[in-house]
Amino acid sequence: MQITNCSEENGTIKLESNNNIWIEVTNTTNGSGYVVSNCTFDYCVLKPVNISLSNPDEQCDYNRSGVLCGECEPGLSLVLGTSRCELCSNSYLLLLLPFALAGIVLVVFILVFNITVATGTIHGLIFYTNILAANQSIFIPFHNPLTVFISWVNLDLGIETCFYDGMNSQAKVLLQIVFPAYLFLLMFLIIIVSKYFDSFAKLLSNRNPVAALGTLVLLSYSKLLRFIIAALQHRVLDYPDGTSDIVWMYDGNVQYFTSGHVPRFVFAAIILISGVVFTVVLFFGQWFPRCSKWKLMKWTKNTKYIGFMDAYYAPFTPKHRY
C-alpha cells in the first residue's frame, strides 16, 4: 500500500491513494488514528482520488458505502452478477417466472439430448466452458449469448438483475445456490414420478433421469465451491489502539461469526463436509463393492447406490476409471 500527498485543509484530512486501498479515521480514548486495509474485490475506486475522511464513502465505487465499501448507499440495491448498486423495484421478482421455465427447459434438454455423465460428452463441455469462464476478459470481452451459455453451464443465471428492492451481499451469496437447488428439485421430482407412474416412465423412454441428476451434481460443483469460499472469507481490521475486528469479506459491515454470519457459515460447512464425503465416495467408489463383505460397507450393495455410481463410471472402462 502507498499513500501520497497527505495534507490537512480546513480541518479536513485528505489523502490521495493510488492503489486499491480503503481508509477510515477512528476516534478512541487514545486519540485519532487510521484503519488502512486492502479494499475487497472492485468495491473501491481504483484510480487516484482525494479522500475526505469526514466522508469515507467517497473512496467507494459503484454507489457503495460502509466498512470496506461492503454495502450499498441508502435506497439502493445490489445488482446480481456485478458489484454495482442501483435503484430497484420488487417488480423484478417477476423474473423468477422465466427462470423457473428456463430451469425446466435445461432439464428437458439434458434428458432429450442425453448430454449426461453417462455418455462422457459433458466432461469436455464443462472443462472448456470453465476455461473460457476463467479467462472471459480475454476470449469473450463483450457480453453476448455465448457468455450466457457459459453461465448456464455453471448454473449461473447469466444476466445482471437486482431481483428485489433492498438486495444486499448476504442475499446475493445465498442466491448463488437457489438455481442449482431448483434444478435438483426438478430432477428429484422426475425420478419420483417415474418410479410411481409407469406411463411417465415410458414417456422418458430410454432416458436416464439418475444420470441427469448426476450431471447436475457435477455441474454444480464449481457453484457450490464459490458459495463456500464466499461464506467463509473474512478480513481482519487492525485499529490504532491495538484491537482488531474480524468482518465478512463480502460485506465489512457484517461481523464475522455473529448472528448475521453464522447461518451462512453453518450452511457452507454442511455443503463442504457433504461435498468432501461425496467426492471420496465417488473417487473410491469402484473399489468399495469389493469390501461389501464388511458390515460397515454393506451399503455398497444397494441398487440405488450402484445405479448412481454407474452413471459416473459408464463412459469409462474399469482400466480408466481411476
Grid cell in block for residue 97: 417466472
Are the C-beta atoms of residues 247 and 253 closer than 8 Å to each other?
Answer: yes
Determine how many CB atoms are found less than 10 A away from the CB of residue 310.
15
Amino acid (1-letter code) at residue 262: V
Question: Is residue 297 predicted with pLDDT exceeding 70?
Answer: yes
What gap in Å lies between CA 79 and CA 162, rounded to an integer? 4
Q: Report the greatest alpha carbon distance in the chain.
A: 82
Conformation bin of residue 222: beta by default, left when phi > 0, alpha when psi is -120 to 50? alpha
Give the DSSP per-residue string, 190-225: HHHHHHH-HHHHHHHTT--HHHHHHHHHHHHHHHHH
- Degrees to nearest 5, angle at CA 32 with 29 and 34: 125
Q: What is the pTM of this model?
A: 0.79
- Degrees to nearest 5, angle at CA 266 with 130 and 308: 55
Note the pLDDT tens digit of each residue in 105-147.
888 888 888 888 777 667 777 778 777 777 776 777 776 777 7
What gap in Å lies between CA 215 and CA 132, rounded to an integer? 20
What gap in Å lies between CA 261 and CA 257, rounded to an integer? 5
Strand 85-86 to strand 77-78: parallel, antiparallel, or no bridges (unpaired)?
Answer: antiparallel
The one-character DSSP state at 186 is: H
CA nearest to 155, candidates 189, 191, 129: 129
What burial class does residue 276 get, using C-beta atoms within 10 Å of its C-beta: 0-12 exposed, 13-18 middle, 19+ buried? exposed
Note the pLDDT tens digit of each residue in 299-320.
777 777 777 777 777 766 666 6
Instruction: Report pLDDT for 47.
Output: 76
Question: Is residue 10 predicted with pLDDT exceeding 60?
Answer: no
Residues with Cβ < 8 Å from 105, sequence gap 6 or more? none
Q: What totals of helices (H) and strands (E) does the chain contain, helices first?
A: 10, 12
- Helix or strand (DSSP H, E) at 64: strand 64-65
Residues with Cβ < 8 Å from 158, sequence gap 6 or more? 81, 147, 148, 149, 150, 151, 152
Question: Is residue 61 predicted with pLDDT exceeding 70?
Answer: yes
Grid cell in block for residue 215: 450431471
What gap in Å lies between CA 311 and CA 119, rounded to an integer? 8
Q: Break the chain into its structural domains and give their ranges.
A: 6-85, 90-284
Phi then psi for residue 28, to 5 deg, are -125, 180
Q: Which of 12-16, 42-46, 165-169, 254-258 has the lowest mean pLDDT?
A: 12-16
Note the pLDDT tens digit of each residue in 178-219.
888 898 899 899 989 988 888 888 887 777 888 888 888 888
Ordered strands of the 244-248 beta sheet: 234-238, 244-248, 251-255
